[in-house]
Amino acid sequence: MSIEPITGRYLTVTIEGAARRIYFEEAGQGRPVVCLHTAGADTRQWRHLMNDAEITESNRLIAFDMPWHGKSLPPEGFETQEYLLTTEAYIETVLAVIEGLGLDRPVLAGCSMGGRIALQLAALHPDRFSGFIAIEASDFQPAWYDIDWFHRPDAHGGEMGAALVSANISPYAPNAERWNTLWMFMQSGPGVFRGDLSFYTKDDSLIPRLPTIDTGATPVHIIVGAYDLTCTPDDAERTAKAIPGATLAVMDELGHFPMSEHPEVFRPFFVDALEKMPGTAAKAA
């Protein structure tokens, strides 16, 4: 038997004028690092890093489920709403959680749409953070699929979503972790993946903001997997070049969900990213 050090609690914050009950998990102590999950998934993507004693020795990792995701309920009246995430609502959510938890300038680590919003926050609210780790993140990605596929009454959106994103998992990923990663998509609520993708594939407002990011004040480190079809190394490189001073690391054997699909190979890249961030240096090696 073993009990993991990760603890989960709930936090109620106000977003878009209404209460949201947010589920969050944390592990460790020291420098706060807020971790954002990808579209169509939840905090479980961060489970391996949050269970890494060497990393959590000096880093307090905090991950939360976005409203509509994981254990965070959708807002009251959701049954009459079409879920479509926006940059504004996403930013408001991240800032509300940080304020609600009383975090002082945490590092922000986000993957995929979480990486996208991390870069938006680097441009628009750098004073609230100490640095940004943007994983599988780029300036803009138009959809190479029809996002409406993933919310239909005649098909299982979760299974279709999992089938689609499996294209973004590296063949080097251990089979068990590949399927653990896909399971989260299979469990995603109806229309949630589609609503996330709407934000991710239609809002290109980040492009003109990238050159305004001051990496002297808040460093930006971008990490990308070679097997990521959605945010390719070329996409990440283009994005990094548009941010003066941003750094980039390419992971040859990883895909779009590195912390979840192949944690062992991702770990050194994340440790390296933490070392580039201000504050308590990561002691993990």
Partner 1 sequence: MAPVQLIVAAMVQLTNAWEARVIDTFKQIQTRLEATPHLQRLGRLFSETVLIEIDGTEFYLSFEKGRIVSVVEGPSRKTPWRFALRTDAEALQKFWQARPEPGFHDVFGLVKIGRGRIDGDILSLVKNLLFFKDVLGLARGKEEFAA
Binding site for partner 1 (CB under 8 A): 144-146, 149, 155, 159-160, 162-164, 166-167, 170-172, 226-227, 229
Q: Which 8-state DSSP code applies to residue 32?
A: E
Nearest approach, Cβ of residue 251 and partner 1 (Å): 11
Whether the CB-CB separation of 217 and 126 falls below 8 Å is answered with yes
Comparison of 49 and 147: residue with beta carbon closer to partner 1: 147
Strand order in the sheet with 31-36: 7-15, 18-27, 59-64, 31-36, 107-111, 131-135, 220-225, 247-251
Comparison of 10 and 145: residue with beta carbon closer to partner 1: 145
Nearest approach, Cβ of residue 64 and partner 1 (Å): 29
Nearest approach, Cβ of residue 155 and partner 1 (Å): 5
Nearest approach, Cβ of residue 257 and partner 1 (Å): 14
CB within 8 Å of 176: residues ≥ 6 apart: none
Instruction: Kindly provide the residue ranges of all beta strands, DSSP E only, lying in the chain, ordered along the sequence.
Output: 7-15, 18-27, 31-36, 59-64, 107-111, 131-135, 220-225, 247-251
Structure tokens at 156: 């299982």
Nearest approach, Cβ of residue 65 and partner 1 (Å): 24
Comparison of 54 and 234: residue with beta carbon closer to partner 1: 234
Comparison of 24 and 227: residue with beta carbon closer to partner 1: 227
Comparison of 140 and 172: residue with beta carbon closer to partner 1: 172
Nearest approach, Cβ of residue 119 and partner 1 (Å): 23
Q: How many CB atoms lie within 10 A of CB 155?
A: 11
Instruction: Show the CA angle centred on residue 190, arms to residues 186 and 193, nearest 5°.
Output: 70
Q: How far apart are CA 183 and CA 243, in angstroms?
A: 35
Nearest approach, Cβ of residue 249 and partner 1 (Å): 16
Q: How far apart are CA 183 and CA 215, in angstroms?
A: 36
CB within 8 Å of 28: residues ≥ 6 apart: 5, 50, 55, 56, 57, 58, 59, 60, 61
Comparison of 78 and 172: residue with beta carbon closer to partner 1: 172
Comparison of 28 and 157: residue with beta carbon closer to partner 1: 157
